[in-house]
Amino acid sequence: MPTTAKTKPFLTYAQQLELLETRGLYVHDKEEALLRLKEINYYRLSAYSLTLRKNDIFSAGTTFGDIVGLYSFDDQLRRIILHFVFDVEHFMRSCLSYHHAKIHGPLGYLNNQHFHNETHHAAFLNRLHHKLEISSEPAIAHHRTVLKKVFPFWVAVEAMSFDMVSMFYKNMKTSDKKSLSSEYYGDKRLYDHVGNWLHCCVNIRNIAAHGARFYNRILPNKVLYKHGDAGKFGNSTPFASFYALLNLLPSVEQKTDFTNSLKVLFSDFPDANINELGFPKSWYDILMG
């Protein structure tokens, strides 16, 4: 049955470019602009023009290159975020498998008595068993075919997605969270922060992996501040989630690399307004603090 809902008409690439020009956008090289529209998608690219126009009219002097510059800036930012989120993901897999197995044994992750919510634990195991069945990782395949599907946690953890890592931590007993937080982050009082920061990292990992936008965006997560940082920046901005990511990085060297990568990016794209990401003036000191 055909839909009766109204939508905007289809526009060719040339018509899309013409529409932008009628709104006051200056296009220096039309052939290059058409190639960009084909590569990126008009709708995705136009989202980066939101801060450059009002009521669909561009600010005087705004160029097509300005929009592409913001897109390229955000693209490089996504690459930085993914790189360091992977560091956190690998580290947390290692932390969880070692710490939980040390306390509860190699198969303790199968026992629902070691977790807050039995229903959530059962759902977790269903997902994990499916991933273990389809995984092609050599160690997992070996345990599946030779060792009768007995997976110690340090093997099973390799089949867990990042959101499963986050949910596993969230459902751990408070005493186990405090112990892990103390051992790996130096303060058992941060146990709730670690769970919150993990959830934020999963979210920004998904945004970056799907090529979605960080620039000029509010995120759904409310990031927990470390003591002394409350009020220094908004807790639902991209910067807040980057702050969460930094706090989960395991080494000073990685924290420094992450912070300096952002600094270089901002230097390479001086027209990108970091306020649109929620970065305060003292962002470098906050992250390096």
Q: What is the pLDDT of residues 202-239, one digit of tens each?
A: 999 999 999 999 999 999 989 999 999 999 999 999 99
Same domain, 217 and 256: yes
- Domain-embedded: residue 220: yes
- Domain-embedded: residue 53: no
Residue 246 has pLDDT above 70, yes or no: yes
Same domain, 211 and 250: yes
User: Pick from 65, 88, 43, 102: which is nearest to 271 by CA?
Assistant: 65
- Domain-embedded: residue 227: yes
Which pLDDT value is given to residue 21?
Answer: 97
Residue type at 63? T
- Domain-embedded: residue 179: yes
- Domain-embedded: residue 259: yes
Same domain, 256 and 190: yes
- Domain-embedded: residue 238: yes
Same domain, 195 and 249: yes
CA distance 82 to 88: 10
Domain count, the chain: 2
Same domain, 216 and 262: yes
Same domain, 176 and 251: yes
Same domain, 99 and 36: no
Same domain, 76 and 29: no
Same domain, 207 and 253: yes
Cα 18 to Cα 40, 47, 267, distances in angstroms: 17, 17, 32
- Domain-embedded: residue 283: yes
Cα 176 to Cα 70, 197, 226, distances in angstroms: 43, 17, 20
Same domain, 206 and 246: yes
- Termini Cα distance of the chain: 60
pTM of the predicted structure, to 2 decimals: 0.94
- Percent pLDDT > 90 in the chain is 94
- Domain-embedded: residue 138: no
Residue 289 has pLDDT above 90, yes or no: no
Domain that holds residue 233: 72-109+172-288
Residue 256 has pLDDT above 60, yes or no: yes
Residue 180 has pLDDT above 90, yes or no: yes
Same domain, 176 and 244: yes
Which pLDDT value is given to residue 238?
Answer: 98
Same domain, 284 and 201: yes
